[in-house]
Structure formats: structure tokens, C-alpha cells
Amino acid sequence: MPRGNKPPSQRQLRVGEELRHAIANIIERGEFRDPGLQDRAITVTEVRVSPDLHNATVFVVPLGGGDPTPILAGLKRAKAFLRHEISRSVQLRAVPDLWFQADTTFDEASRIDDILRSPVVRRDLGLDDAPPAAPDNDDDG
């Protein structure tokens, strides 16, 4: 079985989650001097760590949507600062090299939801007489 098909180890998952929390805290503090990152709400959705823990892909999305390009460019410019701050808060032998990528899972989920709500699909599923499903609200506890 090729190495790329192996699921992440518990250590990879744990380190990825620690890095996600650390990066989210650094972003929340807003100590960036980069204009692409100032006054921007950024959500760190996931961090995937390589098996050797030398590389980490950080998935981010602008809060409220929008173009992630300026955020990705700003994070790339702030990579050294982020790695330094991570080294102060996460106990690792070496801080992984950080790679930033836009998280498209929310857009993809929304696209699939729109398809499932379309009249043609509802008709094919035999749901054309049923009222459209209301959006999920987690307010009811």
C-alpha cells in the first residue's frame, strides 16, 4: 500500500490539532503587521501534518466568505513570524514548515445542498410534494 494512502497517525492528528489551536490563537491576537491580514477575520479549519512532522498544510477560510487570495498571500509572508510564535507555545522538536491553502469544503457543501434542494432533484427523489427542508438551526440546544 503506498504511503500516501495511509490514514494519519494519532500523533499526526494530535500535532495537527495543537498547531491549529496555536495558529488560531496567534491570528486572534492580531499581531500581524501585514496589510493583507490586519482587521481580517480568519478561521483555521484544519491542519494536516506530514508523517515525518516536517510539513503542515494549514487550511483557512475568511470568516463570512470572500476571496481568500489576500489572506493566503499575507499568511505566506508571515510564515516566519507564525513559526516563531508556534515554537513558543507548542512543544515540538522542530516546528513544521507551514503551507497555506484555502478550505473549499464549506463552498462544496453549500453547492451540494443547493443541488439537493433543486426542484428537479426533489422530484426525482419523490419529495416534490413535501415542503423544502428548513435550514438547520442549532439554537434549540
- Give 90's DSSP letter: S
Q: Is the pLDDT of residue 139 over 70?
A: no
Q: In the CATH scheme, what is the homologous superfamily, with its name and number, of domain 3-103?
A: K homology (KH) domain (3.30.300.20)
- What is the pTM assigned to this prediction? 0.74
| Predicted local distance difference test score (pLDDT) of residue 1 | 37
How would residue 104 be classed by pLDDT, with cut points 50, 70 and 90?
A: confident
Lowest mean pLDDT among 40-49, 50-59, 91-100, 105-114: 105-114
Task: Count other C-beta atoms under 10 Å from residue 23's C-beta.
Answer: 24
| Predicted local distance difference test score (pLDDT) of residue 141 | 47
Task: Count other C-beta atoms under 10 Å from residue 86's C-beta.
Answer: 20
For the chain, the domains span: 3-103
Looking at per-residue pLDDT, the higher value among 35 and 80 belongs to 80
Looking at per-residue pLDDT, the higher value among 76 and 109 belongs to 76
C-alpha distances (whole Å) from 35 to each of 6, 28, 30, 55, 76 are 39, 15, 11, 26, 13
Average pLDDT over residues 91-108: 88
- Give 101's contacts (C-beta < 8 A, 6+ positions apart): 57, 58, 59, 60, 72
